[in-house]
Structure 1
Amino acid sequence: MAKKRRLDVRGRTTVITGAASGMGAEIARELERRGARLALLDRNAEGLAALAAELTGTGHTTHVIDLTDDEAVFALAGEIERAHPHVQTLITCAGSSMLGDIDQLTMDEMRWLMDVNLWGTVNITKALLPALHREPAAHITHLVSIYGLAAPAGRIPYAMSKFAVRGFSESLRHELEGSDITVGAIYPAGVKTGIILHGRYAAGIDPAVAQRAAAAQAAMYHTEPADAAARIVEATVRRKARTMVGREARLVDVLSRITPTNYWAPMRRPLRDAIDTTTPVTPA
């Protein structure tokens, strides 16, 4: 297969979902430094406005959208195409987390997370494929997760959604072979964003217990968002198929391939407090 050429993002548009905060906002800042035009998507209107006010480039647009609304997403794709004649890349960062054991979670809670993390990725990708096909070279980057490599206890809906996004990304990459669109998956671990602290937890969990578990997970993060964003953008312009971000991601990638049925044994102890959503919080 011929080597895919590196993208030049200057003057071309990247669409970023989940752009109002976290990794999406950091990726937007990195791409603007490289001269890209941006279409920034999020359901958080206030966050989008704050990011847009911070950016100094021209030609950027913001779009308030609920990615679980398929009809609205496909309508938005036309709006983006009218504002941006050269949509070169799509980076999907939108997502949420969900704490809770299977006995604590409801079916509605698990379906909600699948709608956000999986279907919100699938619909914007499908909606923008015609625009991407019109470019001489284009790339789609999906943010998966370390939990799309290995599935821990206490994170069933999140792992389900991320394994599904991984499968979607790989199938789509194979489907688009021979076209001018390439597809890559990013597997971040330990990035210091607020996803776990601002994510949801099962209604059946004591809020104090959920906060303790989320804090324990967040304490394990050490990669700075700006550093992760630089790696993700570089993987995008290089059109890489698979990128690990963070030391833990590389370790878990190797571990899950070496021992695909027993990787949980060495992961259990470090994650003990982060997956404990049942032990009551002892008053100070």
Structure 2
Amino acid sequence: MFAGRTALVTGAASGIGRAIAVSLAERGAALALADIDEAGLAATRGLLRPGTHATLHPIDLADKDAIAALPGAVMAEHRSVDLLFNVAGVAIGGSFEQVDANDFDWLMEINFFGTVRMVRAFLPVLRQASEAQVVNISSIYGIISPPGQAAYSASKFAVRGFSNALRHELRRTSIGVSVVHPGGVATEIANSARLPTGVDEEETARQLARMNRMLKMPASKAAEIIVEGVAKRRSRILVGTDAKVAAVLERLMPVSYMKTLDWLMRRAS
């Protein structure tokens, strides 16, 4: 599935994106690695299997012109792109009323519109492959919507809906679409989240500590689940028991699941 093929991975400078890049390299894939963090990209390349053909593409996914120019830069270094992994994402803490409108828009530009623009830019390239796959990272918060996650959850539900519609539109083509819902994966996304001004620091620290306790799965394990799911061309990939539980609860109790989730989280803490 991966040997001799080229995968473009956004968010490759750290976390799940980096772990996916390492996993794909172990399977013989060539890589185009994209992220705003140039030093992180270089560090990721240093972790890859020796001999891996990997190119680095620093990019701000909030910059639509940079995304439009990316296929040309990638194709100048690779013969094809067969797999597109849209992993890059950002987070914001605070309730809807606390989050500044500009910060809300910033998050949507990266998490949702960055994904949409990457797909739009690379679909013509993917159509040239005998078999291609688009892999869009949503979240457990693209299944459930807890308080304090209005912006992030909105973006991840949008990724989910976009991916599902895209899959139906491409069903008679050689391009498959996978949407991924990771649960609590041990990355730095919580620690690097933007925080609204004026939020109580002690309460923020408590929420951050609680969030980090929930982020247990190593990124390397999450990446293996994702890559194996992509190898099987699964349409929906749930990563972790928490994501699977959330999916079941949302299906059984689409309105009232938060009561049960609150109880489960209190027990876990």
The reply to whether residue 102 of structure 1 matches residue 120 of structure 2 is: no
1:41 matched to which residue of 2? 34
Task: Quote the Cα distance in structure 2 between the aligned partners of 1:49 and 1:103.
Answer: 38
Question: Do the aligned partners of 2:25 and 2:52 also contact (CA within 8 Å) in 1?
Answer: no
Listed one character per residue, the Cα deviations across residues 88-120 of structure 1 (whole Å, up to 9, x for unaligned) are: 101111001111012211111111111111011
Q: Compared with structure 1, are the counterparts of its residues 175 and 117 closer, same or farther at alpha carbon in structure 2 (3 Å cutoff)? A: same
Task: Quote the Cα distance in structure 2 between the aligned partners of 1:180 and 1:203.
Answer: 47
The reply to whether residue 17 of structure 1 matches residue 48 of structure 2 is: no
Instruction: Identify the match of residue 19 of structure 2 among 16, 23, 26.
Output: 26
1:277 matched to which residue of 2? none
Question: Do the aligned partners of 1:172 and 1:183 also contact (CA within 8 Å) in 2?
Answer: yes
Letter in 2 for 1:246: G
Instruction: Identify the match of residue 170 of structure 2 among 169, 176, 182.
Output: 176
Listed one character per residue, the Cα deviations across residues 154-190 of structure 1 (whole Å, up to 9, x for unaligned) are: 1100010000000110011011110000001111101
Q: Which runs of 5+ in 2 are unaligned?
A: none
Q: How many residues align?
A: 267
Listed one character per residue, the Cα deviations across residues 19-48 of structure 1 (whole Å, up to 9, x for unaligned) are: 000000001110110000000000001101
Letter in 1 for 2:14: S
Q: Which runs of 5+ in 1 are unaligned?
A: 1-7, 273-284
Report the secondary structure of 2:176's partner residue. Answer: strand
**What TM-score, normalized by structure 1, do the two folds share?**
0.90
Shift of 1:217: 0.6
Listed one character per residue, the Cα deviations across residues 223-279 of structure 1 (whole Å, up to 9, x for unaligned) are: 12111100101111211100111101111101101111111111224557xxxxxxx
Task: Quote the Cα distance in structure 1 between the aligned partners of 2:201 and 2:124.
Answer: 44
Q: Sequence identity of aligned pairs in percent? A: 40
Question: Do the aligned partners of 1:139 and 1:182 also contact (CA within 8 Å) in 2?
Answer: yes
Task: Quote the Cα distance in structure 2 between the aligned partners of 1:77 and 1:246.
Answer: 33
Instruction: Identify the match of residue 224 of structure 1 among 218, 234, 238.
Output: 218
1:5 matched to which residue of 2? none
Report the secondary structure of 1:39's partner residue. Answer: strand
Report the secondary structure of 1:182's partner residue. Answer: strand
Shift of 1:150: 0.6
Letter in 1 for 2:37: N
Task: Quote the Cα distance in structure 2 between the aligned partners of 1:247 and 1:101.
Answer: 26
Superposition pairs for residues 85-164 of structure 1, below 5 Å?
Answer: 85-164=79-158
Give the CA RMSD over aligned residues.
Answer: 1.6
Letter in 2 for 1:92: N
1:186 matched to which residue of 2? 180
Listed one character per residue, the Cα deviations across residues 42-96 of structure 1 (whole Å, up to 9, x for unaligned) are: 0001101111123223321000000111111110111112211121101111001
Task: Quote the Cα distance in structure 2 between the aligned partners of 1:236 and 1:215.
Answer: 32
